[in-house]
Amino acid sequence: MDNLIKQVSKEILRANKIVAMTGAGISVESGIPPFRGKGGLWEKFDPMEYAHIQAFISNPEKVWHVLLREMKAIIESSYPNAAHDGLARLEKLGKFITVITQNVDGLHQQAGNTDVVEFHGNFATYSCMDCHSERASNEIDLKEIPPRCPCGGIYRPDCVFFGETIPEDAMWRSQKAASECDLMLVIGTSALVQPASHIPLIAKRAGAIIIEINPEPTPLTETITDYSLMGKAAPTVKNLINVIEDALK
């Protein structure tokens, strides 16, 4: 692993434009469970029953009770871990880095990265389903479930539910960053959720080196990945950035 880390650190030092594509796995060590895999939320319930927009529209009370209330609480009380911090340290070293995240937890911005594309929106704000007025997360009162706007409409998080399209701006910025980068770090994503899983393919086709950090193999590992660092995000990214910082001293 040490040798692999050294090789990867050299690739990163050589790269001019870096994209980090992140998924739920990067936030696991911040205490936020992923959807798939061990300890994932899908072990407890069926995604289509709760995370599909039709499920929310037909029974917002149930989806708020089972999924949204818990996710809002976990996200509000979590902090960036060494993997989020490592990507922010890379930016501080003067590396040009765009973070494309499928996560809705805001932890990359909290860690200090300034160019973050939220591919699946976020839980930082909530919108009324009727009048579309927006409120910050801490203004959403959960004494009543589902929470309601003064107009009577129900609040939803500004995330992308299954069955909804990716915000145009996020899609455009992601495709542009992926097609222009010369190195992509793919961290903690199962690469099973479309169309996010397509973004690393765009980078590969444009000639970028693909580096994966994940304790489990994914559909990318045997197909387009150039370097696979099989480990948890926090210690692996920390180790990698330490080597890069030492090389620059």
Comparing CA positions, the residue from 89, 48, 85 lying closest to residue 67 is 48
Q: Which of 17, 36, 65, 148 binds ligand NAD (CB under 6 A)?
A: 36
Is 131 an interacting residue with respect to Zn ion (CB under 5 A)? yes
**With CB under 6 A as the contact rule, which of the stretches 13-21, 103-111, 125-133, 204-212 interacts with ligand NAD?**
103-111
3-class DSSP state of 211: strand
CA 107 to CA 89: how far, in whole Å?
A: 14
153 binds, among ligand NAD, Zn ion, none (CB under 5 to 8 A by kind): Zn ion
Pattern 84-123, binding to Zn ion, x per CB under 5 A? ----------------------------------------
Q: Contact with ligand NAD (CB under 6 A): which of 4, 11, 40, 179?
A: 40
Least spacing, CB of residue 139 vs Zn ion, in Å? 13
- Asked about 132 being catalytic, the answer comes back as no
- Nearest alpha-carbon partner for 185 in 4, 3, 11, 56: 11
CB 107 within 8 A of CB 55: no
CB burial string 200-215: b at 16+ within 10 A, e below? bebbbeeebbbbbbbe
Among ligand NAD, Zn ion, none, partner that 128 touches (CB below 5 to 8 angstroms by kind)? Zn ion
Minimum CB–partner distance for residue 128 and Zn ion (Å): 3
Q: How far apart are CA 239 and CA 249, in angstroms?
A: 16
56, 154 Cβ separation under 8 angstroms: no
Asked if 151 is part of the footprint of Zn ion (rule: CB under 5 A), the reply reads yes
**Helix H or strand E encompassing 243:** helix 233-248
* Residue placing its CB nearer to ligand NAD in the complex, 164 or 216: 216
Contact with Zn ion (CB under 5 A) among 19, 24, 124, 149? 149
Q: How many CB atoms lie within 10 A of CB 161?
A: 18
At residue 85, the 3 state secondary structure works out as: helix
209-238 residues in contact with ligand NAD (CB under 6 A) are 214-216, 218, 232-233
Q: Is 192 in the site for ligand NAD (CB under 6 A)?
A: yes
Residue from 8, 29, 63, 64 in contact with ligand NAD (CB under 6 A): 29
Please give the positions annotated as active site: 120
